Structure 1
Amino acid sequence: MNQKKVIQLFTLLTFTFIAGCERDNVSTEKPKETISLERAHEMYVAYQRKFNALTELRGGNEDASSGWHSIEFYKNYIAYLEEASKKVKMEVSGLRLYYVAYPDDEKSGEYRDYQTYILVPTYFDKKTNSHVAFDPLHIDERGNPLPIHEVITKGMSNRNTPMNLKSRELQSAETASSIANMAMMCRPNCPSSL
């Protein structure tokens, strides 16, 4: 075999090995968190009772009933979070899903008053033995994350929440984050195929 073919074969084997290593941490086994079709239906019916009560309360105006992100969004979002977290030497342990609603304001536009969800990264806190919401974009000089759960539930101006952000970040109209939203919500923009 000539040197050029040896180099090509070595390169091919190297890329195959690297690609295989990248998949080593990802299992193709069925996750234990999957549920049966029957359970999915039972949960949908349980939700529909609340959905119908809310629809009645809203004078017949239905709320959002589902949301959608592409698989590419999830792959890219997780890769983004892992890279941002690596820079601050913290490991993402999962995603917390918060159920929220769009406020009744101009910024919400056609989504105004519809329920939705936001995705927030978590890290595992060994001291409390729990997964804690955090944002890799907001870590103080000592490596402590901003308490994102408190920021989401109580707001940025809550005096009981330690704010270790630089003052220029707090003075801006809106503070950038790694929190995700903007799913395609079914109501007000349900696809015709549903």
Structure 2
Amino acid sequence: MGKELPKKGKKGGKPKKCISVEEAKELQHVWCCTRTPEIDKCIGFEDAREFHWSVEELQEYLKYVKKKSKKQGIDNPGIRMYFGAYPESKCKTKKGYATIFLAPTGAPAGEMGKGGDSAPNNYGIEPYNRGGTGHPPIGY
């Protein structure tokens, strides 16, 4: 039996994949308790762990991805998020803080593995980065 896709919320309503504030707080708490101490100890400073873009910036990027994907014959593009870290030489503070970047996914209609979690990265569209972050990080 295949993995069922979540039903879409009513137009303008809450999306089906929203989580509660309590669950979000739990996810952040577990990350901070199980990962940040080791990461910070390893690199020697408190690393970034939250990133910010305005809704307008994200909508602009998603519109760009949809437009370029459509030109490539990709009907249902996706976005994959990756952890990254800046090279120390490219960081003003010379610390090499963590970042995340958004990477478009999707394949033209008819190609294997064209959608969902297994969609290939679309290297024909530029990834998105340069969000803001708190120093120190802003907890949820």
Which band: TM-score by shorter chain? 0.7 to 0.9
Tell me if 1:131 matches 2:119: yes
Take 1:46 and 1:111, find their aligned partners in 2: how far apart are those partners?
A: 28
The structure where helix makes up a greater share of residues is: 1
- What are structure 1's unaligned runs of at least 5 residues? 1-25, 138-177
Q: Which of the pair has the greater relative contact order for Cα pairs under 8 Å at 6+ separation?
A: 2
Instruction: State the shift of 1:124 in Å.
Output: 5.0
Instruction: State the shift of 1:67 in Å.
Output: 0.4
Aligned residues of 2:91 and 2:97 also touching (Cα < 8 A): no
Aligned residues of 2:102 and 2:129 also touching (Cα < 8 A): yes
| TM-score between the two structures when normalised by the length of structure 2 | 0.75
Instruction: Compute the RMSD of aligned alpha carbons.
Output: 2.5
Take 2:134 and 2:76, find their aligned partners in 1: how far apart are those partners?
A: 29
Tell me if 1:78 matches 2:66: no
Q: Deviations over 1:122-163 (max 9, x none)?
A: 1157523632210334xxxxxxxxxxxxxxxxxxxxxxxxxx
| 2:93 alignment counterpart | 110
Equivalence map 1:25-104=2 (5 Å): 27-49=11-33, 50-59=35-44, 61-104=45-88
| TM-score between the two structures when normalised by the length of structure 1 | 0.56
Take 1:58 and 1:85, find their aligned partners in 2: how far apart are those partners?
A: 38
Take 1:180 and 1:111, find their aligned partners in 2: how far apart are those partners?
A: 22
- What are structure 2's unaligned runs of at least 5 residues? 1-9
Instruction: State the shift of 1:92 in Å.
Output: 4.5
Take 2:121 and 2:130, find their aligned partners in 1: how far apart are those partners?
A: 19
Q: 1:89 to 1:116 in 2, by over 3 A?
A: same
Take 2:81 and 2:42, find their aligned partners in 1: how far apart are those partners?
A: 25
Q: Deviations over 1:90-148 (max 9, x none)?
A: 2342100001111121x2323742111010111157523632210334xxxxxxxxxxx
4+ runs deviating over 6 angstroms: none
* Aligned-residue identity in percent: 27
- Which entry has the higher C-alpha Rg, 1 or 2? 1
Between Structure 1 and Structure 2, how many residues are aligned?
124
Take 2:66 and 2:50, find their aligned partners in 1: how far apart are those partners?
A: 27
